[in-house]
Amino acid sequence: MSDKIELIASASVKVLAPSISFLAKAGFKSVLYKGVGSYLLEFDDHQDKDDLVVQVTLNNTTIGSVIGSLPDAKHVQVNSSLDSSFFVSVYRIKD
């Protein structure tokens, strides 16, 4: 990986609603099921969200779209049209 890109956190998340759990994780403390297709992941440490990029991929090709966002310096919000397991990675882009 480039010295301008740093992996901050990554996880494989299993969703069997309303149960949700990490299959593998690094850089995340917890994950919370907020409702159908809505999940909140908490970082181990606060991050400067201005230089972060979130990448989310559903572990299901029939569900549709997924969106990852950073509501604050401590969390990643993941939303999809239906409940589905997913992979999430957060990168820091350095100048």
User: What secondary structure does DSSP assign to 13-76, as a single string?
Assistant: EEEETTEEEEEEEESEEEEEEEETTEEEEEESS---GGGEEEEEEES-TTS--EEEEEEETTEE
* 3 — pLDDT class (breaks 50, 70, 90): confident
Answer whether 34's CB lies under 8 Å from 15's CB: no
Spatial CB neighbours of 35, under 8 Å, sequence gap ≥ 6: none
Q: Is the pLDDT of residue 66 over 80?
A: yes
Across the chain, mean pLDDT equals 91
In the chain, how many domains are there? 1
pLDDT, tens digit (0-9, with 9 covering 90-100), for 7-30: 999 999 999 988 999 999 999 999
80, 79, 36: which is closest to 62 by C-alpha? 80
pLDDT of residue 1: 57
Give the 3-state secondary structure of residue 85: coil
Q: Is the pLDDT of residue 2 over 80?
A: no
pLDDT of residue 40: 97
Domain that holds residue 89: 5-93
Would you give the end-to-end CA distance of the chain in angstroms? 15
pLDDT of residue 46: 87
Give the percent of the chain with pLDDT over 90: 75
